[in-house]
Each structure stands twice: as structure tokens, then as C-alpha cells.
């Protein structure tokens, strides 16, 4: 059994705020949910499936379902794999819809780390009590930034990848962000700007890192029949894959990400190849995240990512693989420190032909969205979806 | 340029019954690693089950305490420090810090040896490495 063609994304909404001083996290969830309903042409009472993560306030989905006034939910999911969760939720929603467990599923994300002055990447972070790896990692100052930098350093050692090549990823994102009125960083930057920005964790500079922002987003996934009854362009869920990648009992290999597993699963279900993809949303917590995922998804050979991203190859209208045309996490936003939601939203915009005209991929009918959640250098979730305009 | 590693303050380590033998040995300056006796394979990090079979037929066994730097990064905070994975001679790669050295002179593949650094209060020491 496959989910290919069994579900469609009919609502997508990205919150315009980047700093939500005067909103609660719950209120932001409500605002993105309302935005997605408006986008789809659906109403509150239509929702019978609800998805969120541990970033939502309360016990799993319970407190948010209460706050949002949902009393008729037939399917609930708060699976949490960090920033990749929302990509994974699209696949899970499609599964639930294909099995008839629900017919209109809402996925929400919101957060306000910027208003809360969180040092997301540079202060040690963990997730809850009794985490068995914490006694072997937290005393060593593990942060988000250094857990990704460890991969970048090894990639450079094994494959000769350079800081200039990584910088091209940020340059491409900035070319796209200049057209996004909501983006936090709209200034077009050069390779020199990136490599001359302060070092955060060798070899990652400040401009190799994503922004810290407030906001959020929501998606609505439904049946083919309901999708066809609505007025929005049809965006089909064609394939989905998920995976974890971790330390492998101490035999850890930092040269690849979980995309090596989730990508082929999504492509197989969709019945397409990487070379068929016209637009790709690629998780960009750091430049190295993008480079490794592109290799692991099969857009280029392992080790050739540096060459692949250079010279504007990711810039819409310039290169072969337009990516993150909203400016991505590197320039636009990274709401709640979780970028998977906005990855799916921009892919939907591209397929609908609703991206900014300066970055819209002409005739875009096949897109990919991919997320990496958690820490690239220790353990992370990986989720890939292939979406098609029909 | 040289960036010398400092003896920065380290947070307390939470010990639980399954990793206590590891930390008891660390207090005596000894490095242990996990051994799955079902498969005769070493594993990291120490835990009460085998990550290969899930049985509790595991033991913590002495490691030589030497290895090479698999990868590293210098966290350029106000008090810089070096985070690394060290590949032990026994084969497992462990998350750690490289200390008592010029961090700008480190190289992947460099030989290192274990050193234990005090943490907060009566918490056990942290397992770190320094150039051999």
C-alpha cells in the first residue's frame, strides 16, 4: 500500500511575524491554524485530525486541541523529531487519510524563541530529564552549533569541501530573501561576507547559521475528493520517507545524514528520481546541513556537494536546483527553532505558482521538501516528502 | 594564532544505576567502555543493555585510553573550548573535549590520550583527551 495520490495539501499558511513580543505561543498556533483554514476555504468544524509536536504547549496535542476548541478529533499525532517533524507529519497525515482515520488534518507549529531571548545554537541544550546520552555529552558543552560543526569539519577533511563552497548556500538563500518582505535578512551577501563573518564554531561562521525567529505555520491535508471540491490548486502528496540517524552504538559516521535513508523511501513511493525535482526545500539550520542533505538525497554524488552548490547552482533562475526560495532558515525565518513547516509551505507555494515572481520556478509541477531535526552530529530525525501539482 | 584550552567550569554529571560503574572507574582515573557479551562487540556510550541485541548481557571493560581525533571544532565563545569525537583504539568514537593544548594546532587524525577533569561538587569527572 502506498500514500501516493491518497492525500492533498489544501491549506498552507506562514505567520508573518518574526518577533512576537505580544503574543502567546498558544495564540500563535491559533493564528496559523486560522490562516491555513482561510487559505483552504475550510472552517474550524471541518478539522477531524490534529498534529503538533513537543514544541506546542501542554501534554502532547491535548492542551492545544482544547485551546483551539476541537471536540471532534478522530486522529491525533504529536510525534516529535525536532524541526523535521512537520515534514514527517505530512506523511503521517496522508497515511491517516488513506486509511480513513480522518479526512481533514491540521498541522500547526508556533514558537517565540526570539522574544524569549533564547541562545538557540550556542548554549547547551537538552530535551527533558533522564536522557541517557546526557551524562556523556552535556559536560562537554554540546550545543546545536558545535554538533553541526563537527560534521562540517569531517566533511572538509574527507572530501576537501571548503568554507567558500558552504558560503555559496547562504549566498543563494540571500538572493531569494531579498524578494521576501517578511524575511529577517534581506541583504544579498557574497561569499566573502560569509567567510569574513565571526567564527561561531569552526568551520561555521555566523552567516553559516540560520536565524532565530518567532512565528510559525500550519498545513491542512485532506482527501482527493475534498481537495477537488475546494478552489485551491491541487498539490498531491506523492511520496514520504522518514528515518533516524544516530551514533550507531559508537560506530558513528558523520559524513552523511538521515536523508540517505528517508530520501530513497520518498522517491520510491513517488516513483520519481532526484533529477525530476524542479524545486527543493532543503532544511538549512546551517549551510553544512544543506550540503550533506543534497548529497544524501541524491542530487549529487557523496562528497561532491561543495562543487554542486557553488556558483549559484541553488539560485532560482540561475542554477539547476532552485532551493528555499523564501530565503529559508538562513535568511527568512526559523520559527520555534524548527524549520520543517516553512520548508513544506514554500514547496506548496512553488507548486501553486504563488512564490514571489522573482523566484517562482516556471511550470513547477514536482517539488521536494526535506527536514533534519535534532543534531546532525549526534542523533536526528529525517523526513522527506515529494509533492506534485496536478 | 594560538588559542589555549582553559580549565573551564564543568556542570555536574547525572549518574544513574546503569552507568555508575563507568563513573566509579572514572573517579579512579580509568576509562571503561561497553562490551556486549552476546556479540563480543564494544559499544559507546555506556548503558545497561546491548545496543546490538537489547539483552542485559553487557559489561564495562577497560579501554587503553588512547585514540585519534575523528573530528573536532573550537566553540568560539568567550571562553573557547574544543568539542570532538575521539576514535578509541578499540574502535568506538566518543563525544568529548580536547584539553590542555593549543586548540588552533589540532588536526584530525592526531593521537590523543585520556585525561579526567573535575566537574561540579562531588559529581564524577568528565572524560576528556589531550594530545599524546
Kindly list the domain boundaries of chain A, sorted by start residue: 8-117+209-389
**Residue A327 above 90 pLDDT?**
yes
> Between residues A18 and A125, which one has the greater pLDDT?
A18
Enumerate chain B positions whose Cβ falls within 8 A of a Cβ in A: 8, 10-11, 13-16, 18-19, 23, 33-34, 41-47, 51-52, 70-77, 81, 83-85, 91-97, 108, 119, 126, 128
Q: What is the pLDDT of residues A49-95, one digit of tens each?
A: 999 999 999 999 999 999 999 999 999 999 999 999 999 999 999 99
ipTM: 0.98
Q: Across the interface, do B92 and A250 touch by the CB < 8 Å criterion?
A: yes
Q: How much is the pLDDT for A76?
A: 98
Report the alpha-carbon distance of residue B109 to residue B85 in Å, rounded. Answer: 11
What do you get for the CA distance between the two ends of chain B, in Å?
21
Residue (of A110, A377, A39) closest to B96 by Cα position:
A377
Report the alpha-carbon distance of residue A218 to residue A56 in Å, rounded. Answer: 13
Q: Are A364 and A389 in contact (CB under 8 A)?
A: yes
**Residue A128 above 90 pLDDT?**
no
Q: Given pLDDT bands bounded at 50, 70 and 90, which one contains residue A111?
A: very high
Which residue in B15, B20, B27, B75 has the most chain A C-beta atoms within 10 A of its own C-beta, making it the best mutation to test that interface? Answer: B75
* Domains of chain B from N-terminus onward: 20-131 (2.40.50.840)
**Residue A276 above 90 pLDDT?**
yes
**Residue A269 above 80 pLDDT?**
yes
Q: How much is the pLDDT for A275?
A: 98
Percentage of residues in chain A having pLDDT higher than 90: 97
Q: How much is the pLDDT for A42?
A: 98
Q: Given pLDDT bands bounded at 50, 70 and 90, which one contains residue A121?
A: confident
Q: What is the pLDDT of residues B83-113, one digit of tens each?
A: 999 999 999 999 999 999 999 999 999 999 9
Report the alpha-carbon distance of residue A297 to residue A243 in Å, rounded. Answer: 13
Q: B87 in helix, strand or coil?
A: strand
Q: Given pLDDT bands bounded at 50, 70 and 90, which one contains residue A127?
A: confident
**Residue A324 above 90 pLDDT?**
yes
Q: Are A212 and A120 in contact (CB under 8 A)?
A: yes
Q: How much is the pLDDT for A309?
A: 98
Measure CA A307 to chain center.
Answer: 23
Report the alpha-carbon distance of residue B84 to residue A147 in Å, rounded. Answer: 9
- Which residue from A134, A151, A250 is facing B44, i.e. has the nearest CB? A250
Q: Are A143 and A376 in contact (CB under 8 A)?
A: no
Q: Given pLDDT bands bounded at 50, 70 and 90, which one contains residue A2?
A: very high
Q: How much is the pLDDT for A129?
A: 85
Q: Across the interface, do B51 and A133 touch by the CB < 8 Å criterion?
A: no
Find chain A residues with C-beta within 8 A of B108's C-beta.
Answer: 153-154, 157
Percentage of residues in chain A having pLDDT higher than 70: 100
For the domain made up of A8-117+209-389, give the CATH fold: Peroxisomal Thiolase; Chain A, domain 1 (3.40.47)
Mean of pLDDT values over A336-350: 98
Which element (helix H / strand E) includes B94?
A: strand B93-98
Q: Across the interface, do A135 and B11 touch by the CB < 8 Å criterion?
A: no
Q: Are A233 and A134 in contact (CB under 8 A)?
A: no
Q: Across the interface, do A153 and B108 touch by the CB < 8 Å criterion?
A: yes
| Grid cell at residue A75 | 486522529
Its pTM stands at 0.97
| Grid cell at residue A380 | 536526528
Q: How much is the pLDDT for B72?
A: 98
Mean of pLDDT values over A302-325: 98
Mean of pLDDT values over A257-285: 98
What do you get for the CA distance between the two ends of chain A, in Å?
21
Q: How much is the pLDDT for A9?
A: 98
Enumerate chain A positions whose Cβ falls within 8 A of a Cβ in B: 122, 124, 130, 132-143, 145-146, 149-154, 157, 198-204, 247, 249-252, 254, 377-378
Q: B114 in helix, strand or coil?
A: strand
The secondary structure of chain A, three-state, reads CCCCCCCEEEEEEECCCCCCCCCCHHHHHHHHHHHHHHHHCCCHHHCCEEECCCCCCCCCCHHHHHHCCCCCCCEEECCCECECHHHHHHHHHHHHHHCCCCCEEEEEEEECCCCCCCCCCCCCCCCCCCCCCHHHCHHHCCCHHHHHHHHHHHHHHHHCCCHHHHHHHHHHHHHHHCCCCCCCCCCCCCHHHHHCCCEEECCEEHHHECCCECEEEEEEEECHHHHHHCCCCCEEEEEEEEEEECCHHHCCCCCCCCHHHHHHHHHHHHCCCHHHCCEEEECCCEHHHHHHHHHHHCCCCCCCHHHHHHHHCCCCCCCCCCECCCCHHHHHCCECCCCHHHHHHHHHHHHHCCCCCCCCCCCCCEEEEEEEEECCCCCEEEEEEEEEEC
Mean residue pLDDT across chain A: 97
Q: Chains A, B: CB contacts under 8 A, how many? A: 114
Which segments in chain B show pLDDT lower than 70? none
Amino acid at each position: 500500500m502506498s500514500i501516493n495520490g491518497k492525500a492533498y495539501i489544501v491549506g498552507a499558511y506562514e505567520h508573518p511575524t518574526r518577533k512576537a513580543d505580544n503574543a502567546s505561543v498558544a495564540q500563535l498556533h491559533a493564528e496559523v491554524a486560522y490562516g491555513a483554514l482561510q487559505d483552504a476555504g475550510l472552517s474550524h468544524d471541518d478539522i477531524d485530525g490534529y498534529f503538533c509536536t513537543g514544541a506546542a504547549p501542554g501534554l502532547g496535542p491535548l492542551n492545544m486541541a482544547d485551546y483551539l476548541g476541537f471536540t471532534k478529533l478522530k486522529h491525533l499525532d504529536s510525534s516529535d523529531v525536532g524541526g523535521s517533524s512537520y515534514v514527517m507529519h505530512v506523511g503521517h497525515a496522508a497515511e491517516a487519510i488513506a486509511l480513513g482515520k480522518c479526512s481533514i488534518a491540521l498541522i500547526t507549529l508556533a514558537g517565540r524563541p526570539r522574544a524569549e531571548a533564547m541562545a538557540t545554537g550556542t548554549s547547551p541544550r537538552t530535551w527533558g530529564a533522564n536522557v541517557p546520552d546526557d551524562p556523556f555529552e552535556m559536560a562537554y558543552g554540546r550545543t546545536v552549533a558545535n554538533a553541526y560543526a563537527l560534521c562540517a569539519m569531517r566533511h572538509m577533511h574527507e572530501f576537501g569541501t571548503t568554507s567558500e563552497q558552504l558560503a555559496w548556500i547562504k549566498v543563494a538563500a540571500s538572493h531569494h530573501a531579498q524578494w521576501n518582505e517578511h524575511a529577517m535578512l534581506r541583504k544579498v551577501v557574497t561569499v566573502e561576507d560569509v567567510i569574513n563573518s565571526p567564527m561561531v564554531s569552526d568551520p561555521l561562521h555566523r552567516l553559516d547559521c540560520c536565524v532565530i525567529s518567532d512565528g510559525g505555520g500550519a498545513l491542512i491535508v485532506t482527501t482527493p475528493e475534498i481537495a477537488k471540491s475546494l478552489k485551491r490548486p491541487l498539490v498531491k502528496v506523492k511520496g514520504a520517507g522518514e528515518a533516524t540517524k544516530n551514533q550507531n552504538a559508537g560506530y558513528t559516521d558523520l559524513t552523511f545524514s538521515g536523508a540517505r535513508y528517508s530520501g530513497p523511501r520518498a522517491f520510491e513511493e513517488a516513483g520519481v528520481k532526484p533529477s525530476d525535482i524542479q524545486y527543493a526545500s532543503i532544511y538549512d539550520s546551517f549551510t553544512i546541513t544543506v550540503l550533506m542533505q543534497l548529497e544524501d538525497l541524491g542530487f549529487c554524488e557523496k562528497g561532491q556537494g561543495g562543487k554542486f552548490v557553488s556558483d549559484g547552482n541553488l539560485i532560482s533562475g540561475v542554477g539547476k536546483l532552485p532551493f528555499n526560495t523564501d530565503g529559508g532558515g538562513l535568511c527568512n525565518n526559523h520559527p520555534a527553532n524548527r524549520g520543517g513547516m516553512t520548508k513544506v509551505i514554500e514547496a506548496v507555494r512553488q507548486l501553486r505558482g504563488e512564490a514571489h515572481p522573482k523566484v517562482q520556478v516556471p511550470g513547477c509541477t514536482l517539488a521536494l521538501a526535506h527536514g533534519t531535526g535534532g543534531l546532525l552530529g549526534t542523533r536526528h530525525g529525517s523526513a522527506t516528502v515529494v509533492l506534485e501539482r496536478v | 594564532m594560538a588559542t589555549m584550552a582553559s580549565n573551564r567550569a564543568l556542570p555536574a554529571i547525572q549518574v544513574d544505576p546503569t552507568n555508575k560503574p563507568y563513573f566509579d572507574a572514572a573517579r579512579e582515573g580509568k576509562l571503561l567502555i561497553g562490551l556486549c557479551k552476546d556479540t563480543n562487540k564494544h559499544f559507546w556510550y555506556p548503558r545497561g543493555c546491548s545496543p546490538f541485541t537489547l539483552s542485559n548481557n553487557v559489561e564495562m571493560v577497560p579501554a587503553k585510553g588512547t585514540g585519534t581525533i575523528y573530528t573536532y571544532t573550537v566553540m568560539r565563545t568567550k571562553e573557547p573550548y574544543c568539542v570532538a569525537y575521539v576514535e578509541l583504539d578499540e574502535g568506538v568514537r566518543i563525544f568529548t573535549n580536547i584539553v590542555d593544548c593549543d586548540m588552533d594546532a589540532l588536526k584530525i587524525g592526531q593521537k590523543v590520550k585520556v585525561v579526567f577533569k573535575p566537574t561540579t561538587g562531588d559529581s564524577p569527572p568528565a572524560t576528556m583527551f589531550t594530545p599524546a
